[in-house]
Each structure stands twice: as structure tokens, then as C-alpha cells.
């Protein structure tokens, strides 16, 4: 399904039909996301029916048409909507970052975490947890926000260290991947050291953070992640044709006017920023940035005009659905959503290792 047939291009009508088909598929994915989101709004300790949740959402905008009780409206809008919306924007951010990383690294097994972003974020969060704040910054910044800031800064640290390496050794995909592996081991070692010196409660908090959860989502941190996603989407969408050209190889892309080294560095920075924004609030949520682009590629093909938005929607669906399952599968216990996404991602990851082809990469 990922290969476009040549008869689409035989005429203007054929191309129009091809584009229309892609938009219809994208619309179908958006409908699935809406259904998954409403189902997530209805799941929880207080039972809210699917259509009650639907009415509660629309009552805010069309009160004369859709009726909703005060209790249902409060539960949906104040307790569950921030969590669901965070799942949408964070899932989209991780998925788009995955598309960018797979393109610039020319590797179908690349993900937003390939360059060590997750390891850096984990180290930054653990540093605050173990030290209770450092350099007296907890006096200025509340510890909860200090953890977020530390995770964000250290998540970006590997990317900027790798940029320094590329200035010396070039920005080919092999150099980026090897440097990313080095960063991952470096910050993983630091994380292990902090777990070793931390007490039992610190280690428990670190492990829970590393699992990833949407439990602390509110309108403020959801808005921050959404803002980062929207701002980063501007250059990503601007580079769509550059990404398509990169699929033809570095030499061909260069002959088409693409500055390959510059687009790799810029793509790495943008992907790292989107990933850092998501993981600094949620913790490590694995495999969405790997799984979503491949599902989108199987349905929409490799044209980044459709691959990027479809990956964003599919990533959002995966995270929202996984969080719903995490809250209901062993109710009343709530599983960390990172566990569910890993269970989903591992089989596909193994499939890609066994069945991957060199086509399109």
C-alpha cells in the first residue's frame, strides 16, 4: 500500500484522484482520533457514557443544541480533557519527530530517541529527584517545574553535543547515529549512577518517571507542548520537498538544490525540540515515534505531504488509545502509558528488523 501506482500519474484527473484518495484517508484517520478521544473521555472512575461525553464536549460550544449535566461537564472538561489533549499533542509530536529522524538518518529503525534525547531527559529528571533540586534553584523554581526544565535541557544536550561533533566529522547519517548511540550510553550511565546513589524513594520516583504517564497533564503543560508542536511544524512543513528529495539519496538531493548537511542539522534540532517538550512533561513514552510513521507509510505512501500529517494523527490515536487502555485494563489501578506503548511497539520493531527492505531508504 506504500507504493503509488504509475496509472495515478497518467493524467491530470488521475493525479487529482490520487490526492483526493489521500485526503479521504486522512479524514478517516481524524474521525478515528475523534472517536478514540471521546472514548477516552468516557473512561475513568466515574462512569460517563460515550454519548454523554460527546454531548459534554459540544455543549461548551453549542449549549442550545447539546445538553449536558454539570457533573459530566466538569469531569470531561476539567479532569479528563487536559489528559486526552496532552495525548493528542504529545503523540503527534513524537510521531512527527519520528518521521523527520527516519528521513534525515535514512534509517527505518530510527526514532525520536535515536540521538539520546530520552536518556538525556531521564538523567535531567533523575538529577532533580535525587538532589531535591540543585544549586539552590528549588528556592526560585518549584521542584515540579525544576524537574521539567532539567529534563528539557538535558534532553536537548545530546543534540547540541552531536552538532558539535558534526562540525568536525560531517553530518552523514552514520556519524549522527553513532554519535547518538554514544550520547545514549553516556547519559544512561549518569542515570544509573544517580539510581545507585539515590535512596529507595528516589529510585521509585525515577522508575515511575521513566515509564511515562499522562497523569500530571493540565491545561498549562498541555498548552506548552501544543505550542512547541505548532511552532516546530512550521519549518517541518516548509521542508516537505527537501525531505522527499532526501529519499532519492544525498547526491540527487544536492543536485536538486537541497543543502543536505543543513537540512539534517535543522531537522535534528526540530525533532529534538518536539521530543524534549513531550518527554519533559510525560517521561519516556516508547515506540510511538517508530510505530506511527511506519503505519502511516503503509497507508499513505512515502510522500511527506501526506506522511507528516498522517503520522501526527496516527501517533495521537496510538497514545490516546494506549492511555485509555492503561486506565482501564486493570481498573482501578492505572498503568504507566509507556508500558502499553512498548507492548504495542516491540512486535512491530521485531517485524521491521526481520522484514525490512532497502526500498525507499
CATH number at residue 299: 1.10.3470.10
Q: What is the pLDDT of residue 63?
A: 82
What is the three-class DSSP state of 212? coil
Alpha-carbon gap, residue 23 to 21, rounded angstroms: 5
Alpha-carbon gap, residue 4 to 22, rounded angstroms: 11
In-domain check, residue 76: no
CA 282-199-138 angle, to 5 degrees, is 55
Q: What is the pLDDT of residue 334?
A: 84
In-domain check, residue 277: yes
Per the structure, the count of domains in the chain is 1
Q: What is the pLDDT of residue 94?
A: 97
Q: What is the pLDDT of residue 139?
A: 53
In-domain check, residue 4: no
What is the three-class DSSP state of 181? helix
In-domain check, residue 6: no
pTM confidence score: 0.90
Q: What is the pLDDT of residue 2?
A: 46
| Radius of gyration, CA atoms only, the chain | 21
Per DSSP, 215 falls in state T
Q: What is the pLDDT of residue 361?
A: 46
**Most distant pair of Cα atoms in the chain: their distance:** 68
* All cell numbers assigned to 287: 515506540
Would you say 279 and 123 are in contact if contact means Cβ atoms under 8 Å apart? Answer: no
Alpha-carbon gap, residue 64 to 125, rounded angstroms: 47
E-state strands within 201-296: none
Q: List the domain range (segments joined by +) for residue 349.
A: 90-355
- Give the residue carrying C-alpha cell 504517564: 213
Q: Which residues are within 8 A (CB) of 309 and not within 5 positions of it... i.e. 6 or more apart?
A: 26
For every residue of 293-321, DSSP letters joined together read: HHHHHHHH-S-HHHHHHHHHHHHHHHHHH
In-domain check, residue 107: yes
In-domain check, residue 157: yes
In-domain check, residue 220: yes
Alpha-carbon gap, residue 3 to 146, rounded angstroms: 47
In-domain check, residue 36: no
Q: What is the pLDDT of residue 225?
A: 97
Digit-by-digit pLDDT tens for the chain (361 residues) are 444 444 555 566 777 888 899 999 999 999 999 999 999 999 877 778 888 888 888 888 888 778 777 788 888 898 899 999 999 999 999 999 999 999 999 888 889 999 999 999 999 999 998 887 655 555 567 778 889 999 999 999 999 899 888 878 777 788 888 899 999 999 999 999 999 998 898 899 999 899 889 988 999 999 999 999 999 999 999 999 999 999 998 899 999 999 998 999 999 999 999 999 999 999 999 889 999 999 999 899 999 999 999 999 999 999 999 999 998 888 878 888 988 888 877 887 677 667 655 444 4
Amino acid at each position: 500500500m506504500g507504493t503509488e501506482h504509475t496509472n495515478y500519474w497518467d493524467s491530470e484527473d488521475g493525479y487529482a484522484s490520487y490526492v483526493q484518495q489521500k485526503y479521504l484517508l486522512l479524514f478517516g484517520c481524524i474521525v478515528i482520533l475523534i472517536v478514540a478521544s471521546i472514548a477516552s473521555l468516557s473512561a475513568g472512575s466515574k462512569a460517563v457514557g460515550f454519548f454523554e461525553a460527546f454531548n459534554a464536549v459540544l455543549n461548551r460550544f453549542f449549549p442550545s443544541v447539546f445538553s449536558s449535566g454539570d457533573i459530566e461537564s466538569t469531569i470531561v472538561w476539567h479532569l479528563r480533557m487536559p489528559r486526552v489533549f496532552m495525548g493528542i499533542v504529545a503523540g503527534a509530536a513524537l510521531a512527527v519527530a519520528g518521521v523527520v529522524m527516519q528521513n534525515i538518518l535514512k534509517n527505518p529503525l530510527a526514532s525520536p530517541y535515536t540521538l539520546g534525547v530520552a536518556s538525556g531527559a531521564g538523567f535531567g529528571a533523575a538529577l532533580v529527584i535525587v538532589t531535591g533540586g540543585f544549586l539552590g534553584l528549588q528556592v526560585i523554581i518549584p521542584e515540579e517545574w525544576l524537574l521539567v526544565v532539567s529534563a528539557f535541557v538535558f534532553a536537548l544536550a545530546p543534540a547540541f553535543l552531536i552538532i558539535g561533533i558534526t562540525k568536525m566529522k560531517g553530518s552523514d547519517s552514520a556519524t549522527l547515529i553513532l554519535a547518538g548511540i554514544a550520547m545514549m550510553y553516556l547519559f544512561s550511565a549518569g542515570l544509573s549512577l544517580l539510581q545507585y546513589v539515590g535512596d529507595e524513594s528516589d529510585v521509585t520516583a525515577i522508575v515511575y518517571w521513566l515509564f511515562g504517564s499522562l497523569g500530571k497533564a493540565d491545561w498549562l503543560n498541555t498548552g506548552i507542548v501544543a505550542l512547541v508542536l505548532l511552532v516546530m511544524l512550521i519549518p517541518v512543513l516548509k521542508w516537505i520537498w527537501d525531505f522527499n528529495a532526501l529519499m532519492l539519496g544525498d547526491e540527487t538531493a544536492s543536485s536538486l538544490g537541497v543543502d543536505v548537511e543543513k537540512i539534517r542539522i535543522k531537522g535534528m534540532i526540530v525533532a529534538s525540540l518536539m521530543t524534549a517538550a513531550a518527554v519533559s512533561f510525560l517521561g519516556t513514552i516508547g515506540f510511538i515515534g517508530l510505530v506511527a510513521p511506519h503505519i502511516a507509510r503503509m497507508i499513505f505512501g512515502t510522500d511527506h505531504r501526506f506522511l507528516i500529517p498522517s503520522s501526527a494523527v496516527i501517533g495521537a490515536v496510538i497514545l490516546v488509545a494506549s492511555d485509555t487502555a492503561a486506565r482501564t485494563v486493570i481498573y482501578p489501578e492505572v498503568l504507566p502509558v509507556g508500558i502499553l506503548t512498548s507492548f504495542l511497539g516491540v512486535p512491530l520493531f521485531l517485524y521491521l528488523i526481520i522484514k525490512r527492505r532497502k526500498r525507499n531508504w
